[in-house]
A = this chain, B = another copy of it.
């Protein structure tokens, strides 16, 4: 029986998932919390935007999580020699400077405690000035660098971080032979082929974060990079001009690792990619199916055959050929805050009567909110407490709540916030469909998809579409295992393609179907949401807002009569 291991490197820990390649059954899972910093994140009191990671945690994590999962599976008929491949997904963009052997600079004594020589974690926001410079410069001289990434280059991305390193820690920048995304570095650690020149780079990371375009110009050109900062252009030659989809085999497991872990040295190592993209594969993405990974924020992924025409979709974070599955454009969108908004509400505005612990409060708010009819509270909210990632791509936006009276109850506001994120989800679906990509099906995964039936029912009622829930609760690790099975190939008991592997290994758990009468009410509320959305979020909109409160009260009165 062939098995695959998916390694999922998150923000605070890494997880190994051992999967039966024939049917996707998850034998065991083992989590290793990173030992460094605060929950694995290295912070700096004087710069609240700074968030780094120690790459030694990943190396330790490979060993501990795989040993842990093999140990747990020992009780079953499973044999370690039956593991045919290992796949890797990570956070990103999380770049790291390396020496000419591909080793982390912070492994050198002179850089041991220098955060600039560590991993620049995805959520590091110290590089916002450099991001603005990239956007400004590109819009002037290379608009094509922005056309596939929603028009705005982010402070979370590759070039912003490298440029910030050059500005604030030039000794690190100068010492770096190259830079790597950790989704490229960890597979290289597993194969032992760490040389930056030969390291197989992920097209997912390259395309979504480094403005790489395989079909056209590769990485941004030297002239452009030197315009950002003289000397940055020289780095281009020490990076890469080719990038790979995750169904590629990066190599075989290095002999030292095989010996240490008790696995076969023929174990295939797949090219890495980001967690959301592999998660989409683990959830069963296919053309026409939107996968939503719902946690503190949301990542929305679709694919579209790369042989068919696809326009740029304004306001969508990224469109990259092969970033999810080979042969398809990966389309990435997202909401800046979803679970984070609910958490904010519960932590700040939920009174004691809903319970003493956070869990009790969430449960009781949801219970009371579930008893409300759509529209009954008279409330409407915008889901912009952390800005808007898609489709407005604007961090300078904020929350809005309208319709409160002297009788408004906390659970009514809680429901309005759930609904706001559902309206935000529909705005993304509408935008993608406007540009010719039909969204027939929605599969949800991530913590909130499993934990909040009320939210999922509201999403179904708002969008008028069934909300399917991924069978696996570890879709990124499952996606990584799927690519491990493809990298291992049919001869080893794996698959010829990701689609074949998905057919065997992926399933749907629950499904929430829309109720027609709720959808009808939500169409009216969504029209008001879009009015607020366009009025406060776009320069183009102009008109009267006089109808909004009246319409909300009319919808409320109707709901109460019914």
What is A's interface to B at a CB cutoff of 8 Å? Answer: 337, 340-341, 344, 348-352, 378, 384-386, 396-410, 413, 535-539, 541-546, 548-550, 552-553
Residue of B nearest to A543 (CB): B542
- Known contacts A349-B351, A541-B546, A545-B535: does B398 contact A385 (CB below 8 Å)? no
Whether B396 pairs with A337 at a CB distance below 8 angstroms is no
Whether A541 pairs with B539 at a CB distance below 8 angstroms is no
Whether B409 pairs with A348 at a CB distance below 8 angstroms is yes
Whether B408 pairs with A348 at a CB distance below 8 angstroms is yes
Neighbouring B residues of A349 by C-beta, 8 Å: 349, 351, 410, 413
Whether A408 pairs with B403 at a CB distance below 8 angstroms is no
CA distance A385 to B379 in the complex (A): 12
Residue of B nearest to A336 (CB): B406
Neighbouring B residues of A340 by C-beta, 8 Å: 406
Whether B351 pairs with A378 at a CB distance below 8 angstroms is no
Neighbouring B residues of A401 by C-beta, 8 Å: 399-402, 404
Whether A344 pairs with B408 at a CB distance below 8 angstroms is yes
Neighbouring B residues of A405 by C-beta, 8 Å: 385-386, 398-399
Contacts A/B (CB < 8 Å), 13 sampled: A341-B406, A349-B351, A396-B549, A396-B550, A398-B402, A398-B549, A398-B552, A399-B404, A400-B400, A536-B549, A539-B544, A541-B546, A545-B545
Interface centre among A408, A549, A552, A553 (most CB of B within 10 A): A549
CA distance A105 to B401 in the complex (A): 48
In the complex this chain forms, how many copies of it are found? Answer: 2
Residue of B nearest to A402 (CB): B400
Our pick among B341, B386, B409, B546 for the contact of A538 (Cβ within 8 Å) is B546
Neighbouring B residues of A546 by C-beta, 8 Å: 535-539, 541
- Known contacts A378-B398, A404-B399, A406-B344: does B535 contact A544 (CB below 8 Å)? yes
Neighbouring B residues of A539 by C-beta, 8 Å: 544, 546
CA distance A394 to B553 in the complex (A): 13
Whether B402 pairs with A399 at a CB distance below 8 angstroms is yes
Residue of B nearest to A541 (CB): B544
Whether B386 pairs with A553 at a CB distance below 8 angstroms is no
Neighbouring B residues of A352 by C-beta, 8 Å: 351-352
Our pick among B350, B385, B399 for the contact of A351 (Cβ within 8 Å) is B350
CA distance A387 to B84 in the complex (A): 68
Residue of B nearest to A412 (CB): B348
Residue of B nearest to A557 (CB): B396
Neighbouring B residues of A337 by C-beta, 8 Å: 406
11 additional A-B residue pairs with CB within 8 Å, beyond A398-B405, A398-B553? A348-B410, A351-B351, A385-B408, A396-B549, A398-B402, A399-B405, A400-B400, A400-B402, A400-B404, A536-B548, A542-B543
CA distance A534 to B544 in the complex (A): 9
Residue of B nearest to A347 (CB): B351
Residue of B nearest to A538 (CB): B546
How far does the Cβ of A165 sit from chain B's closest Cβ, in whole Å?
Answer: 26
Whether B541 pairs with A536 at a CB distance below 8 angstroms is no
Neighbouring B residues of A550 by C-beta, 8 Å: 396
How far does the Cβ of A423 sit from chain B's closest Cβ, in whole Å?
Answer: 17
Our pick among B385, B408, B542 for the contact of A544 (Cβ within 8 Å) is B542
CA distance A535 to B352 in the complex (A): 36
CA distance A544 to B545 in the complex (A): 10
Neighbouring B residues of A398 by C-beta, 8 Å: 378, 402-405, 549, 552-553
Neighbouring B residues of A399 by C-beta, 8 Å: 401-405, 408
CA distance A536 to B544 in the complex (A): 8
CA distance A443 to B553 in the complex (A): 36
Neighbouring B residues of A538 by C-beta, 8 Å: 546
CA distance A386 to B405 in the complex (A): 6
How far does the Cβ of A242 sit from chain B's closest Cβ, in whole Å?
Answer: 40
CA distance A409 to B340 in the complex (A): 14
Whether B536 pairs with A545 at a CB distance below 8 angstroms is yes
CA distance A386 to B404 in the complex (A): 9
CA distance A186 to B403 in the complex (A): 41
Residue of B nearest to A399 (CB): B404
The 4 closest A-B pairs by CB, nearest first: A399-B404, A535-B545, A349-B349, A400-B402
